[in-house]
Chains A and B, each alone.
Chain A
Amino acid sequence: MRKLLLLTAVFLLVQLGKTFAQDRQVTGKVTSSEDGSPLPGVSIAVKGTSKGTTTSADGTYKISVNAKDILTFSFVGFDTQTITVGTQSKINVVLSTNTSQLQEVVVTALGVQRQKESLGYAATTVKGSEINQAKAVSVTSALQGKVSGLQINIVNNGINPSSRVILRGNRSLLGNNEALVVIDGSVSTSDALNYLNPNDIDDVTVLKGANAAAIYGSDASNGALIITTKKGSAGAPKISVSNTTYIEEISFMPKFQERFGGGTESFSRVYIPFENQSYGPAYTNESVNLGMPLEDGSYQKTPYSYKSNAKLNSFDKGVTTQSSVSLSVGDKASSFYISAQQNDSKGVVPGDNKQQTALRMNASHEYSKFKGAFNIGYTTNNIDFTTSDFYNTVLNTPGQVPLDQYRDWRNFKNADGSLNYANPNNYFNAYFYSPFFNKDVNRRKEFNSTLSGNVELTYKATKWLSFLGRVGITKKDYNGKAIQEKFKYSAYAKSVADFSEAQNDLNGFAFDYNYTDYRITSDFFLTADKKFGKFSATFIAGINNKENTQKFVSTQANSLVIPGLYNVSNRVGEAGASESDAKTRLVGVYGDLTVGYKNFVYLHLSGRNDWSSLLGKDNRSFFYPGGDVSVVLTEAVPALKELSFLSFAKVRGSLTKVGGINVGPYALQTSFGTGSFPYGSLAGFSVGNTLPDPNLTPEFTNSFEVGGEFGFLNNRVNLELAYYTQKTTGQTVSISTSQATGYSNALINAGSVQNTGFELDLKTTPIKLANGFSWDFNVNFSQVDNKVLELYQGINELNLSNYYGLTSDASLGQVFATVGEQYPTIKVVAYKRDPDGRVIVNSETGYPSVATSLKTIGQSNPKYRLGLTTTLKYKGFGLNAVAEYRGGNYIYHGLASTVWFTGVAEATAAYGRERFVFPNSVIQNADGTFTPNTTVTVKDGGLGAWDSNLRRYGENFVTSAAFWKLREVALTYNVPARILASTKFIKSASVGLVGRNLITLLPKENLYTDPEFANTTSNAVGLNSNAQTPPTRTYGFTVNLGF
């Protein structure tokens, strides 16, 4: 390397000698302040002249100047710098990234890059550095709170979380509402956000509305996330190595009562040593028996007192180690990027673990008029987790039980010959398994892999015309086995009359499954780009073809013979087996035209026609157009430019229609089930319960959007505003019908949903000092109004949670789409009330009773979201933080009902388990009037009230779903280059502390759990359950090195 520099110097000297004195050569190199990488293509202009040049692939430049010249260095996405040449002959420039997003280039549909100012719709780009600032394990969590209009819910905090990503609320009642994910120009699947290595992300452009994404076809009606992965950059090879270790710990547990132990009697408080409910007497700290008499005649003993940390300590601290390495290299014609990442995770549920490996290879090469490229990612996951409801049993164990002592259950006796109380034969609980036993014997192991990538070839026919062909594939394979270990209780345990669980030996099962999802998409399009005087035009036309193929096969043995052998052959009884296949195709043709006048008015029109295999012949073809306009006011009205405080102003508007198909394959005909048939050689069939309209048509989303983008104070303050309204009509709805029709559902076109919303993105740099100290502070705010306008022929509601199998008609909390209400809406089983809203209680028992219809509580999707991000920088130090607020919505806590059932919930001890007058209650008089109740107490203040009666009202378990979360905090230190110079090979180094969800603030009434944890990725958001894992926070340490 030294040699090369020396050579350059000699070369320069020679050059210098040749120039005139007043017109000499200046050379130098332009690098990025972010990572020190060379910046190619930076334009360098001599102020006041037409002279100029650009930097080459390695960031170097040379230009002839004289001493008085002033050079301006400008590059998209970076602050422009001006330098007076003076006597310098070598000017190296470090450009710092521009906090203003307004001038940036945005990757829009089909990978076409456009100046942001020309866009007539909302698009926000999140850079790779912002995604990785707190070293999030997945792209999903990295995007939370950073973009207005984008709502990401992590559905479960377990070892293998899933997520729900929606833009601008929900449009479709029962169809897909999740944003489309596009990777390097090819349509992928939404779970890509969970399997992509975040370090591979160059940037993510969030196209918030259907208008922006329509060209991707009907899947884009929900907006799109356009992900661009890193490509090798020109210049010397760059190797990055990083390692992050995180600790994960439970951040929130429901509030427990700490006064009463095991018992289940009504009207009295009797300690029952083997009881799983906590309606016993108050703690006394005396030594009591725990459990049933044991085989050796002894009893387990414990002080009758609350064991404070027994529940929390039943969980582990999770540990995740993430190691990444990447190599990036390129030259004028080629780019090359490879990376590998390994994540090893140990979950908070003891024994759960996951290993993820992600590989990526991106490369391109230009030859003459051709350019070929490929981008391929491959991710594998090895997951081993329990299928038992560990959280549920931990939560519900009576407080006097030293639960965390029962981790090691396998041996019947301890080493010292005493009985092991953790062993199921000796376990205290007569009705429920030990959570530790249960989690070990019920497990699922899965290996899954995703190969996702594309190959593209560009032919640049002329300066203004090029053709691109691209074929992308996504192939996912899931191979898994869910097992239950065999376990036989001892003859003694079975003989104990009270030991009801011991009557149930575990016979073991093995459920083996294989799921393959194969998607191939191909695009062929032309791009014409030409200027005609003051007009510029870009025209794109193309054809798109998608084919999705899925296959699922499973086998099942329900009762095993030989312990430990989990194969379908090792069974008694019939084997279970199932299979299903699906194949769908879609062909689309599209055109897209952008016309610009000067550099301030841009008109964009697009149209697409799709043909889908999912619909009947007469309905499978559908067309949808869109258009938008952008006017850069500061360019159009020169006077505005003169205003010192205003640096940029733009207004925009768009109108679009997008067709979407929310019908599964083979849904146009009623299919027959086989019930529990066949029985041997006897067959049986049953008419299905869904009656489809064979003439289903696509559902259409019409959207209208206006917005503005403004830069103030030399772009130190940037403001983006957007207002939109979207109406999705003629939805494909599996509407519940009266079962008396013979069907429970009809699949028809019906219903419309309207979304109206407002979004604000404010980016500011309040402080930027010459000493390098800077403070950025950004705010994003979203408000969405999601209303169901109509359903079908007087049918006013659609039970979403039943549709998705989350609840039944008898469930205490259910989720609906109801005409005139926000979508989705939570409804609950309620108290019977008098006209003044007071609860009517029975004049003898003092108990309320159940109202005949469900009570509407309110929306489950947040009405407001506020994201705050801030960055402080000083010399090598950086502090990033992201906080998010969501509110205006409700959650039904499914887990609350079980903690009331067992009596561990704090609420169940509100009256000290004494009889009480139900607050604000009335008694109905014989004449139908109501008298306030001040005297009639509930018959039983313990089990009778809390479990048998009050637990039946869903309204007790609904709370506000508002929260504040400190999503990310990252403190990093970049080791100065001069220190690294001594190592001779390390080019950059940084260390950091990172944290996620460190603080969660909830309203006081929410005693149960983090409301973000709905139990579904479906549209029926608003319920949680105890089958999940509790919310956690993570914190860790990261080291990054560049070579």
Chain B
Amino acid sequence: MKRKIYSILAASALLLASCTGSYLDINDNPNAAVSATPELVLSNALNVTAGRLTHNQIGNFFGGYWAPSGSYSGFVEERQFDYGATYGTGVWSSCYDNLQDYQYIIDKAEAQSWKAVSGIAKVMKAYNYQILVDAYNNVPFSDALKGTTAIRPKYDDAQTVYNELIKILDAASTDLKVPISGANPSPGAQDIVYKGDLTKWRQFANTLRLRIIMRQTNVSGKDLKSEVAKVVAEGAGFLGAGGTVNSTPGYLKTAGKQNPFWETYVQQASGADAGSKQAYVCSAFFITTLQTDLKDPRLARLAAKNNAGIYVGVPLGDGNDDNLFPKRSWFGPAIIKSFDQPMVLMTAAESFFLQAEAAQRGYTTGDAKALYEAGITEAFTAAGLTATDASTYYNTATKNVSWAASTDKIEAIITQKWVAMFSLTGFEAWCEFRRTGFPKVPVATKAIQQKNPARLFYPTSEISTNSDNVSAQNVTSQFDNKIFWAK
């Protein structure tokens, strides 16, 4: 009997060893893809970059455009600049998450010499890294995006990262010059920005490069002029009239598929008010600047009248019931269009103002005045007004409106750029304010220190996962620990 049992056991053990193999090979994911071609990743990556709201929302507050309405209490971060490492964490996480997708595209595309696709991804890599530096100063770059091989990535000096971004854009340009062919396929419709138009991508890359260069005007010892010359020499030029970099995957009137700005601030797909519909309105500073200082006809396009039929904003820092949403000016029809309006990566007006500043500073031989006026015209047409309206406006002898009437040309350029970028690229407005001090956005009345915010803190997630590297940055103040290019 015993022997029999042993033999049965031995036999079943053998049987087990032989058949468990395939019996247990059932761990292939039936629910989600585990690999994808680079152009399939490109569409989503672009959509995420363009749809990112957090950094622009912060910029809209700290850049002087927006204020929280009195319909909501709280908002001490925006009203009092009282914030810590838990504020704006999405800027960090979203940029790096997005960068990982671009890195995946670059790696996969370069492996098969798909230059068009890798070139586009490189432009966007630089675009994202600039946001990171402009929000946090030193950030992981050389060690970043390497998964567990560099699980606590070291931080690179912000200036070094900026220098690297110029190189990346240079490499992007090289890639983008390779003509489309069978071996170098066009991303086509997966490129939701330019549908594979590589010349336009080069113009965007050049303008972005100009933005990065011009950001460093306060940095001593930089030869910005020769840097700008290299961009001009690239040959494709900059974003021109009507060249605003728009992105749309074909937004739908479905929850989660509308234009994110619309879905967050205006209306849900179901028709109900968006979650943050009544939370944010124009600041008193923005309304006053346009209405009183600039006497700007764009006011009616950028802002809405309140329930008493006038334009009135919330003083930065205020939050009582006088400032309830219906009593204050919301955003106007040039900002709030429809669920399928495109998201803006960079305005064409910004391109002209960057060129105007470069010319004004003598970095190029361009006509600063003409470029400045072209920027205003571009901003007017983007806001739904005409070139004639624009010329009437910039020929009115108002400071920071007409070139001639503006004593400080840089102030005029930055002020007009600020108006042009209202609400849609608020982060850039905040950056330029920190660089130039223009326009003169007042400190919020209830701010914990009488200073404007200079940066974000490294997020809590980074403090808990990469603590040594974070503490080495020694960031203790949102007001005093400035970005390397700041004024």
Interface residues of A (CB under 8 A from B): 264-267, 270, 272, 277, 431, 461-462, 465, 497-498, 500, 503-507, 509, 526, 541, 543, 558-559, 573-574, 576, 579-585, 587, 589, 611-614, 617, 620, 665-666, 668-677, 679-680, 682-689, 691, 693, 736-744, 746, 748, 792-797, 799, 802, 808-811, 816, 829, 842, 845, 847, 849-854, 901, 943, 947-949, 951-952
Contacts and interface: CB of A to CB of B under 8 A. Distances in A.
B1 A462 contact: yes
Given A741-B145, A742-B144, A685 B33 contact: yes
Nearest to B20: A611
B97 to A, nearest CB: 6
B116 to A, nearest CB: 18
A684 B43 contact: yes
A682 B250 contact: yes
Interface in B131-177: 139-140, 143-148, 150-153
Contacts of B20: 587, 611
Contacts of A736: 461, 464-465
B249 A685 contact: no
Given A461-B1, A613-B27, A559 B249 contact: no
Which secondary structure characterizes the binding site on chain A? loop
B32 A671 contact: yes
Contacts of B185: none
A943 B321 CA distance: 12
Interface string B17-55: 000110111111111111110001101110110000000
Contact of B147 (A526, A691, A951): A691
Contacts of A620: 24
Interface stretch (B99-107, B344-352, B378-386): B99-107
Contact of A614 (B27, B43, B189, B464): B27
B472 interface: no
Nearest to A668: B27
A739 B84 contact: no
19 contacts: A576-B255, A611-B24, A682-B192, A684-B40, A685-B36, A685-B44, A687-B36, A691-B148, A737-B465, A738-B465, A738-B466, A739-B461, A739-B462, A742-B97, A802-B461, A809-B85, A809-B461, A810-B86, A949-B76
B86 A573 contact: no
Given A265-B321, A558-B254, A558-B255, 19 more contacts: A497-B307, A507-B271, A573-B254, A574-B252, A576-B255, A585-B26, A671-B31, A675-B47, A675-B48, A682-B192, A736-B464, A738-B140, A739-B461, A744-B97, A794-B468, A796-B467, A797-B464, A850-B82, A853-B463
Given A736-B461, A737-B465, A740-B139, A684 B34 contact: no
A677 B82 contact: no
Given A666-B29, A738-B153, A810-B87, A672 B74 contact: no
A485 B74 CA distance: 31
A1028 B32 CA distance: 33
A541 B271 CA distance: 65
Given A666-B28, A671-B29, A687-B100, A264 B73 contact: yes
A585 B44 contact: no
A794 B152 contact: yes
B178 interface: no
B37 to A, nearest CB: 9
B265 interface: no
B324 interface: yes
B93 interface: yes
Contact of A559 (B101, B270, B325): B270
A583 B26 contact: yes
Nearest to B254: A574
B24 A573 contact: no
A738 B271 CA distance: 38
Given A505-B271, A744-B97, A852-B85, A266 B320 contact: yes
B256 interface: yes
Nearest to B73: A947
A854 B467 CA distance: 13
Interface stretch (B5-13, B289-297, B364-372, B393-401): B5-13
Contacts of A574: 252, 254, 257
B16 A581 contact: no
Contacts of A852: 84-85, 457, 476
Nearest to B89: A809
Interface string B444-487: 00101000000001011111111111000000100000000000
A589 B144 CA distance: 45
Given A587-B23, A685-B41, A738-B153, A799 B464 contact: yes
A165 to B, nearest CB: 29
B269 A679 contact: no
Contacts of B469: 738
A509 B82 CA distance: 39
Contacts of A854: 460
Given A683-B43, A795-B152, A948 B272 contact: no
Contacts of B36: 672, 685, 687
Contact of B319 (A266, A431, A670): A266
Nearest to B255: A558
A585 B73 contact: no
Contacts of B271: 505, 507, 559
Contact of A742 (B9, B99, B457): B99
B83 to A, nearest CB: 7
B389 interface: no
A943 B73 contact: yes
A796 B463 CA distance: 10
A582 B28 CA distance: 10
A845 B446 contact: yes
A580 B249 contact: no
A845 B43 CA distance: 49
A901 B33 contact: no
A795 to B, nearest CB: 6
B243 interface: no
Nearest to B260: A676
B74 A737 contact: no
Nearest to A484: B270
A589 B15 CA distance: 12
A742 B147 CA distance: 6
A682 B249 CA distance: 7
Contacts of B148: 691, 693, 737, 741, 743, 746, 748
Contacts of B24: 585, 587, 611-613, 620
A620 B74 CA distance: 52
B186 interface: no
Nearest to B15: A543
B82 A849 contact: yes
B190 interface: yes
A541 B9 contact: yes
A500 B457 contact: no
Nearest to A901: B73
Nearest to A902: B73
B253 interface: yes
Interface string B313-337: 0000001110011100000000000
Contact of A680 (B29, B86, B252, B273): B252
B464 A573 contact: no
Contact of A952 (B5, B31, B76, B97): B76
A272 B462 contact: no
A677 B28 CA distance: 23
A984 to B, nearest CB: 55
Contacts of A272: 321
A265 to B, nearest CB: 6
Contacts of A811: 86
